[in-house]
Amino acid sequence: MGYTIAEIAAHTGLSAEGDLSLSVVRPSEPSDAARDELALAMSRQYEEAVAACQAQAAVLWPGADWKALGLKAALFAPRARVALAGITGMFEPALDLEPGIHPTAIIDPSAVLAEDCWVGPYTLIGPGVVIARGARIQSHVSIERGAQIGENAIIRAGVRIGRDVRLGARVSIHPNACLGADGFSYVTPEPGSVESAKTSGAVSDAGRNLSLTRIASLGSVEVADDVEIGASSCIDRGTVADTVIGRGTKIDNLVMIGHNVRVGETCMLCGHVGLAGSITVGDRVVLGGKVGVADHVTIGHDSVVAGGSLVGSDIPPQSVMLGVPAMPRGKAIEQIMAIRRLPRALEQLRELRQKMGL
């Protein structure tokens, strides 16, 4: 399905010039854009590529001379990635799922499903589950007892939703994510190796983990409206209180969120982030890829933690943190530069010792 330049401009709010009735079938990289495709060239660095491609229309940087580039029409993007979001959203394929309830789905008689929700093949819906209108559930999904699925939620293939998990409106969950598994919570009957290590810095003979007793997970998981959860990510249920994900937060693939964690609104948790139990993450926090956070830590509102950092203590609001252990960005860069200077400093010290006969 194609769109005219006029339709794209109206949907995205971008200004447009030229033949606005021109239709394009998909966006494309400028280096290989075909005649019926929309070249994405939102930066001047793509000027030569867009001039050489076959596309008749392109998305360009503000002030670009589209006629000189041989185009018949152009859209202009002051913020490239905002424009990209709007354009790709228009061309995104529809969810691969037929309307209605597939005959192979297994649905408990006590479950309540809105008339217009969709349920795919081999999906299992347990007792007392409530699925709101417009929800779309793909194949091989399991939804356990008492779970609630909000309006227009999208649950993709292979997702596992545990008992009593509550999803808000327009929540989007990608394949094989698991919400509501038990938390990783164990205790030793007598003080064990972890307690010994924390108090003395060593593991004594008397402080070994001779046995582990499981602490049951009686809480659940609550996911607010407009949250997106990536493929194969896991969110554990709380021990007594619920694990909570705030409105509008976006969670990447392969993210691990432990029991009793509370994540604020409009956060971004990138791939391989790991949150231990009982962490509090404020609103609008960004955690880069492979960030690890120790248990019971609080990360203040509007903070950014760079990828690969390890957070072991509380972070104040509006902090920019970097490194292992994570520290304020300026201090981390100073340490990195100091380490890089060490080889030269050691060489200078060696030369000085030789001159002094030491």
**Active-site residue numbers?**
259
In sequence order, what DSSP letters do the residues of 146-160 get, joined into one string? T-EE-TT-EE-TT-E
Contact 228, 246 (CB under 8 A): no
**CA 330 – CA 338 distance, rounded (Å):** 12
Contact 193, 209 (CB under 8 A): yes
**Helices and strands per DSSP (H, E), number in the chain:** 5, 39
Using only C-alpha atoms, the chain has a radius of gyration, in whole angstroms, of 27
Q: Are strands 160-161 and 142-143 parallel, antiparallel or unpaired?
A: parallel
3-state SS, residue 85: helix
Contact 213, 161 (CB under 8 A): no
Contact 131, 111 (CB under 8 A): yes
Question: Which amino acid appears at position 153 of this protein?
Answer: A
